[in-house]
Structure 1
Amino acid sequence: MEIRLATINDLDAIMNIAAKTIKIMNEEGNDQWSDKYPAEKDFKTDIENSSAFVAIMDEEVVGSIAIDRIGGKNYDLIEWTLTEKNFYVIHRLMVDPEIRGGGIASKLLAFAEIIAIENDTFYLKTDTYAINEKAQNLFLKNGFNKVGELHFPGKERPFYCFDKSFK
C-alpha cells in the first residue's frame, strides 16, 4: 500500500468511497455524515490545500484522510491534554467499506503522525460522533486519548474529541 498526496484526479474515487461510507453509516444508524457533509467541495478544498492524502492499493484509491492545522468548530472549548498551539487535525478519514478491516485506517493515522513529525509537530487532534464506535475504537487502538465532547445543533449526541501526543 502507498499513501500519497491526493490530486484532483482522485476526487471521483474519493467521492465514490464517501458515498459508500455514508450508505453504511446510515444503515448502522450513524448520521455523522450525510448527503450534506462531507460534500465534494470539502474534499476538493482538501486537495487544493494539499491536505488530502489517499491510500493506494493495486493502483486504486482505497482510503483517504485530510491532515491540516484547522481545528474543528469549538475546539477551543475542549481541555486538550496539551496546551500546545502547534498541532495537526485529522478530518474525513475513510476506507472503502468493501475492504475495511485490513489495517488501512491505522496506516493512515500512522501516516498523519509522520506528516506531523516531519513538520516538527508532535500533537494530533480529531473528533468523531458518539454513535461512531468504530472510529472511537480506531483512535483508542492507535494511542489517542478521549479528552472531551462537543455538542452541535441538529445532532442528538455529542462529538467526542481525541488527541495524541508523541513527543
Structure 2
Amino acid sequence: MIRKARLNDISTIIEIIKSTIEEMKTYNNTQWGENYPLDEDFADDIENGDLYVDDDCGHIKGFICVNFIEPVEYEGLNWSSNDKSMMIHRMAVNPRFRQQGVATELINFAEKLAYYNNVVYLKTDTYSINTKMNSLLKKCGFKFIGKINLFDKEKSFYCYDKLLKNFK
C-alpha cells in the first residue's frame, strides 16, 4: 500500500539510500552520495506532503517524492507540453524488494497522483549513467527530452517527460 511518508519512516529511508549509494558505486554512478539526499531533504518532503512510501505490513519497499517543484535548470528544454506538470524526485527501492515491480508501482502511483491533482503531465531527471532509472523511465513510457547539468556533477542529467492518459 502506498501512503504518505511519516517522520518515523526517515531512518528506514536513509538505510535504503545508503544501500542504493553502495550499489550505485558498483557501476560508477555518483548521482547520490554523502551530501545528497539527506535526512533534511526527506523531512522537508514529509512536511510538504510530497513523499510517499510503499509500505508492506510495516516494511518500506520503496519511496518516491512527487511535487510541483521544477528545477530552474529545466528552463530552455524543449518539453513535450507547456501544461502544468508535476515532478518526480528522489525515488529508490529497498534492495530486499528489488525485481518485484516496486519501482513500476511507484511510477504508476505518481501518474495517478498527478491525474488526481488535475495534472496530465509528469517531468523528471536522472543521472546519465544511472542505467537502472533511465531504463525504468523508458519502460514506463517517458520520453527523453534533453540534458542538463546539476549539482556540479561531471556528467549530465537526462530529462524525461510523459503526457498522461485518463485514469478510471
TM-score range with shorter-chain normalisation?
Answer: over 0.9
CA shift digits 1:107-149 (9 cap, x unpaired): 0000001111111100000000010011001000001000011
Moved more, 150-159 or 63-72: 150-159
| TM-score normalised according to structure 1 size | 0.95
Taking the aligned partners of 1:150 and 1:138, their CA distance within structure 2 comes to 19
**Which one-letter code corresponds to 1:122 in the other structure?**
V
Alignment match, 1:151: 149
CA RMSD across the alignment: 1.1
Taking the aligned partners of 2:130 and 2:120, their CA distance within structure 1 comes to 26
Alignment match, 2:50: 51
Summarize the alignment of residues 10-21 of structure 1 with structure 2, pairs less than 5 Å apart. Answer: 10-21=9-20
Q: Which runs of 5+ in 2 are unaligned?
A: none
Taking the aligned partners of 1:32 and 1:145, their CA distance within structure 2 comes to 21
- Contact 1:87–1:123 under 8 Å retained in 2: yes
**Which one-letter code corresponds to 2:133 in the other structure?**
A
Percent identity of equivalent pairs: 39
- Contact 1:8–1:47 under 8 Å retained in 2: yes
Q: Which residue of 161, 164, 167 maps to 1:163? A: 161
Moved more, 93-102 or 63-72: 93-102
**Which one-letter code corresponds to 2:111 in the other structure?**
E
The 4+ residue runs of structure 1 with deviation greater than 4 A are: none
Alignment match, 1:87: 85
Alignment match, 2:108: 110
Taking the aligned partners of 2:72 and 2:36, their CA distance within structure 1 comes to 14
**Which one-letter code corresponds to 1:119 in the other structure?**
N
| TM-score normalised according to structure 2 size | 0.94
Q: Which runs of 5+ in 1 are unaligned?
A: none
- Contact 1:17–1:62 under 8 Å retained in 2: no
**Which one-letter code corresponds to 2:47 in the other structure?**
E
Give 1:59 shift. 1.9
Aligned-partner SS, 1:74:
helix
Give 1:153 shift. 5.9
- Contact 1:17–1:96 under 8 Å retained in 2: yes
Taking the aligned partners of 1:19 and 1:153, their CA distance within structure 2 comes to 19
Aligned length: 165
